[in-house]
Structures are given as C-alpha cells and as structure tokens.
Amino acid sequence: MKFVSILMGSKSDYDVVKEALGVFEQFGVKYEILVTSAHRSPKRTQEYIKEAEDKGAKIFIAAAGMAAHLAGAVAAHTTKPVLGIPMPGSNLASMDSLFSTVQMPSGIPVATLAIGKAGAINAAYLAVQILAIEDEDLGQKLLEDRKKQQEKLIQDSSTIEVFL
C-alpha cells in the first residue's frame, strides 16, 4: 500500500502539520503520522524509516523546529523524496529551523517548503503531485482542484472589483 509518512520532531508541531492532513484526505492519499526526533530518539527515527519503506511509504514529510535536523536525518536513511517543513518559533525568527532544513549537503536532498502552515499545505500538495506522476486519477483530481482554486479567486475578485 502506498502512503506518505509524516514525522514531527515534537507533538507541538501537530497544530501546523494537521493542515497537510486535510489535503491528503481531500485527495484520498493515505498517510501515517508520528512524533520522533533526530536528537532525542535517533534509533526510533531510523527504525521507523525502514519499517515505513517496507510497508510502502513513497514520500516522507519531516516537520521540526529549532535545530530542525529531522528532515536531514530522514534523508540520510532513505532514497525516497523527503519534504521538509520548518516550524515557526520565536528562536531567531524561525530562521534557525529554515536554515537547518534547507542547508543539506550535496547528494542528500531535502525539498524545503515554507515555514509553518503554508509549508505544511504545500508539502502535502507536492507529495500529491509526486504520487500523481504514476497515478492518472490523482493527476485529474489535482487539475480539478486547480480549477476550483481559480474559480474561487475569480469569485472573490468579483465581489470587490472596480474598473474604469
């Protein structure tokens, strides 16, 4: 069974990460979610990655704040795509989590999304796009979603438009 695996460095990350779950549910994409840490539970993280791959994980999403090494730790143990979500925080205006997620060594990539909720939503959409490469039905659902987004934007504009 193919699915997306979502790892969070702390339970407090759930308020942001849950934004991704709605996207997966909208598109019918299965997911697993757990709390694990690159620093506090490295063995658990490594073992879970192997177990998830054996069960069919196609993409990993890793959300972490502060030192934010979770996405890199995941990427070190898999060749599947890893999408990183830097968590918002007060430390260094969240730049610490952004830099820790985006600055990966050559050959161990992490696709880094925006900080916070927009990053969680876009990580889910990117995961759906990756899965849609081999799933035409999912690709069609993405096209329909884009049309709905465009229609909503046009409707929203029509309520405030002023032209000369």
Confirm whether residue 145 is marked as ligand binding: no
Say if residue 44 carries a ligand binding annotation: no
Contact 27, 80 (CB under 8 A): no
Which residues are CB-contacts of 159 (< 8 A; sequence separation ≥ 6)?
Answer: none
Is 10 assigned a ligand-binding role in the annotation? Answer: yes
- Could you report how far apart the first and last alpha carbons of the chain are, in Å? 56
- Which residues, 6 or more positions from 51, have their beta carbon under 8 angstroms from its beta carbon? none
As a three-state string, the secondary structure of 64-131 is ECCCCCHHHHHHHCCCCCEEEEECCCCHHHHHHHHHHHHCCCCCCCCEECCCCHHHHHHHHHHHHHHH
Binding positions: 10, 13, 40
Binding residues for substrate: 10, 13, 40
